[in-house]
Amino acid sequence: MSLNINNISRSFNGKEVVKNVSFEADPGEIVGLLGTSGCGKSTVLRAISGLDTGYRGEVEINGKASRKVEASTGFIFQEPRLMPWLNVMENVTFGLKGKKESKDEIGRKYLRDVGLAGSEHLYPKELSGGMAQRVAIARALITSPEVLLLDEPFSALDAFTKMQLQDLLLEIWEEYRTTIVLVTHDIEEATYLCDKIVILKDRPGRVGQEIILDEPRPRRRGSNALANYKTDILNSLDLSRV
């Protein structure tokens, strides 16, 4: 699915926090929304998601204006937001309808996809942070979303787990070719994962620059090409002015 974000502005209590943000995501594209803390990334993502409707401007999904949560959209947040009284399988299949056996069969497929085969019966308190976030990814995928919206999904994880889950996200994207909008403040993450990076800057947040990453995958972390993009992004952010 394609996304067309047209001139999104958002105010809270009379104060504008996001101003005229526009960008596009082509079907199957991974678009990063990158910026410093408080520049309005989550605000823009909530507008795209339909969870917030109090913005000005328009969100088009496949060319059609949308101001509600669409069934074709999946969400992954920074915290896994699992239900502590349900086990892994029950958390993942919670949103599905039908008989338990058929739900469990689907659940097993997605748990395999995220590397959690055999963990079906564990409860959230028994999971590491990385495992819990894998459950959250499986839960998002099980509804077959065509658009995945991620808000700093890996920022609470240690560096190694973070890299593993970034690679997992790419594997999933290879399989399903979901259109992805990834909110992040992590430049390395953005350059490793994204086809395009939309840089938000200033207060109220606005689009500073769009950077196209014309880099084949698999990409190499720490390659010169990615380092060059990082330099461009740092220049564009101009952190000395923040």
Ligand X SMILES: Nc1ncnc2c1ncn2[C@@H]1O[C@H](COP(=O)(O)OP(=O)(O)O)[C@@H](O)[C@H]1O
Q: Which residues bind ligand X (CB under 6 A)?
A: 12, 17, 35, 37-43
* Least Å from the CB of residue 151 to Mg ion: 6
* Least Å from the CB of residue 230 to Mg ion: 21
Residue 174: name its binding partner from Mg ion, ligand X, none (Cβ under 5 to 8 Å by kind). Answer: none
Nearer to Mg ion, 42 or 179 (CB): 42
Nearer to ligand X, 35 or 124 (CB): 35
**Cα(146)–Cα(71) distance, integer angstroms:** 9
Distances (CA, A) of 242 to 44, 83, 184, 204, 231: 20, 38, 17, 12, 17
CB atoms within 10 A of CB 177: 12
Residue 39: name its binding partner from Mg ion, ligand X, none (Cβ under 5 to 8 Å by kind). Answer: ligand X
Residue 133: name its binding partner from ligand X, Mg ion, none (Cβ under 5 to 8 Å by kind). Answer: none
* Least Å from the CB of residue 17 to Mg ion: 11
Nearer to Mg ion, 42 or 191 (CB): 42
- Give Cβ neighbours of residue 155 (< 8 Å, ≥ 6 apart): 78, 162, 184, 185, 186
Residue 54: name its binding partner from ligand X, Mg ion, none (Cβ under 5 to 8 Å by kind). Answer: none
By 3-state DSSP, what share of the chain in percent is helix, strand and coil, each rounded to 5?
35, 25, 40
Nearer to ligand X, 12 or 98 (CB): 12
Nearer to ligand X, 44 or 168 (CB): 44
* Least Å from the CB of residue 40 to Mg ion: 8
**For residues 148 and 76, is the Cβ–Cβ distance under 8 A?**
yes
Nearer to Mg ion, 70 or 152 (CB): 152
What stretches of the chain show up as alpha helix (H) in DSSP? 41-49, 88-93, 100-113, 129-141, 159-176, 187-193, 224-237
Number of alpha carbons in the 13 Å side-chain half-sphere of residue 104:
8
The gap between the terminal CA atoms of the chain, to the nearest Å, is: 35
For the CA atoms of 213, 218, 223, 227, what is the dihedral angle to 10 degrees?
Answer: 30
Residue 35: name its binding partner from Mg ion, ligand X, none (Cβ under 5 to 8 Å by kind). Answer: ligand X
Q: Which string of x and - marks every residue 25-64 that binds Mg ion (by CB under 5 A)? A: -----------------x----------------------
Q: Which residues bind Mg ion (CB under 5 A)?
A: 42
